[in-house]
Amino acid sequence: MIPDAPLDPNTPTQSTLGNRVRNFLIVIVAIALTGLLFLGLRNQTSAVSLQELDQASTPLEMAITNNRPSLVEFYADWCTVCQKMAPDIAKLKDKYGDKMNFVMLNVDNSKWLPEMLKYRVDGIPHFVFLGNQGETIAEAIGDTPRTIMDSNLDALIKGSPLPYAQMNGRASGFSA
């Protein structure tokens, strides 16, 4: 029989070593989950940009002459509301793009000053709903929920009155 040896406080016991391994594994898993969450949110928020929408948009000159209804958006790259709405506009374009035009006009480009004055753009995003002949049907200014935009675009394509003809949401100030 072995006599009881005195315990050395510097020698780790089995349970202390097990706790350390468990804590180490918890830290590794937490770091991995944090990294995955960060990458997932980053990819979700950068899914679509205003520049991509602009590059894929129908030129205004074509939109007002091709006998299709149009949604014209006045925007700016610095506009936080415009950036927030970009994914919704992209989804609407995916849904309705084969039936109508989506036109993007950057207010920082002086080329669009006549249109900014014509539609009295004083806040962005500023949406103009145009009929088949390029006539103004309705306008919406500011942060507009996708469900409302969806209802308006559906009615515009059908040639029906727009259910939300004059909408004003939160907008970024702008002066032409």
Q: Which residues are catalytic?
A: 79, 82
Q: Distance between CA 153 and CA 68 in Å, rounded?
A: 12
Q: What is the CA radius of gyration of the chain?
A: 28
CA distances to 39, 41, 148 from 167, rounded to whole Å, are: 35, 30, 9
SS3 62: helix
Q: Distance between CA 90 and CA 80 in Å, rounded?
A: 16
Q: How many C-beta neighbours within 10 Å does residue 40 have?
A: 10
CA distances to 80, 102, 125 from 94, rounded to whole Å, are: 22, 10, 19
Q: How many C-beta neighbours within 10 Å does residue 122 have?
A: 14
The amino acid occupying position 59 is P
Q: Distance between CA 60 and CA 98 in Å, rounded?
A: 16
